[in-house]
A = this chain, B = another copy of it.
Amino acid sequence: MSLVVVGTVAFDKISTPFGKSDKIVGGAATYIGLSASQFSNNVNLVSVIGDDFPEEFLAGMKQRNINLDGLQIRQGEKSFFWEGKYHYDMNSRDTLDTQLNVLADFKPVLPDAYKDCDFLMLGNLAPSVQLEVIEQIENRPKLIVLDTMNFWMDSAMDDLKNVIAKVDVIAINDEEARQLSGEYSLVKAARKILAMGPSFIVIKKGENGALLIDNNNMFFAPAMPLEDVMDPTGAGDTFAGGFIGYLANSRDISFENMKRAVIVGSAMASFTVEKFGTERLLNLTEVEIDERIQLFVDLVDFDILLVD
């Protein structure tokens, strides 16, 4: 089924305790699209770049059946750029430079062919921009997934609540869930956030896994303990891409199937962090993905006889 992905396509410059990158391709929609394209051959991107973006990278996305008709290319302008440095624990980072460039006045425009999409992934962007996308959709998609961050909670809470009310799944990290709900307990936080509109919440905990919660069920997926973590950038977006790509392909949005989608998303994210940027995602085989998913199956597998 068709999947529309909205988010940034951009440049990153990253340093972590284990190395640093040059200016490389990044952006939420880039990671989401590449990850989703492993499961769906009907991925449609909405984003904006300048004329400085590498043509061969766009060609590579097209080769993966990612439709770029919704990607605006602005001549004479520059793509969004972010520079950041991760701390030793890799769970926190400092932003060293942000150049909005084409993103400053981004107006998403959905090609007509996108307007009756079945699945919609709203990558992290200003909530007002995410709203503009929803308003251009003609038939309510089967599933809308929202990613956002604390920055918008601090600066655009009204718009954000407006978006949250219109989506089916919200994906945020544990600190953001606490900030959004005012509750320390993630169980209570999830309940409050579900009351704002979504039917499902995914609480992303980075190297500590992810929780999927609806009003009746709770599921936990671990993160895979890895030999080497080089760069966490894009892990959350890769997760989201695997999650919605798997759902779009299997056409089943039951809690049972969402659990599988969370495992698939976690498996995909575990690849992204092994290298800087999109390098690992661009060099990934179906066999590797299946093997990684099997590692997740084994990691949490146990049988127990109750005591009495």
Interface residues of A (CB under 8 A from B): 17-18, 39, 88, 90, 184-188, 205, 208-209, 211, 218-222, 225-229, 256, 259-260, 263-264, 286-287, 289-290, 293-294, 297-308
Contacts and interface: CB of A to CB of B under 8 A. Distances in A.
A4 B228 CA distance: 39
Nearest to A206: B208
B208 A260 contact: no
Contacts of A260: 302-305
Contact of A225 (B90, B187, B287): B187
B259 A226 contact: no
Contacts of A88: 184
A4 B229 CA distance: 40
A187 B227 contact: yes
Contacts of A263: 302, 304
12 contacts: A185-B226, A219-B299, A219-B300, A219-B302, A220-B222, A221-B302, A260-B302, A260-B303, A263-B302, A286-B308, A290-B307, A290-B308
B304 A293 contact: yes
Contacts of A304: 260, 263-264, 293, 297
A287 B218 CA distance: 21
Contacts of A208: 205, 208-209
A208 B290 CA distance: 26
Contacts of A205: 208
B307 A294 contact: no
A88 B287 CA distance: 43
A179 B205 CA distance: 22
B39 A307 contact: yes
Contact of A307 (B17, B225, B286, B306): B286
A256 B304 CA distance: 10
B185 A302 contact: no
Given A208-B208, A260-B302, A302-B263, A225 B229 contact: no
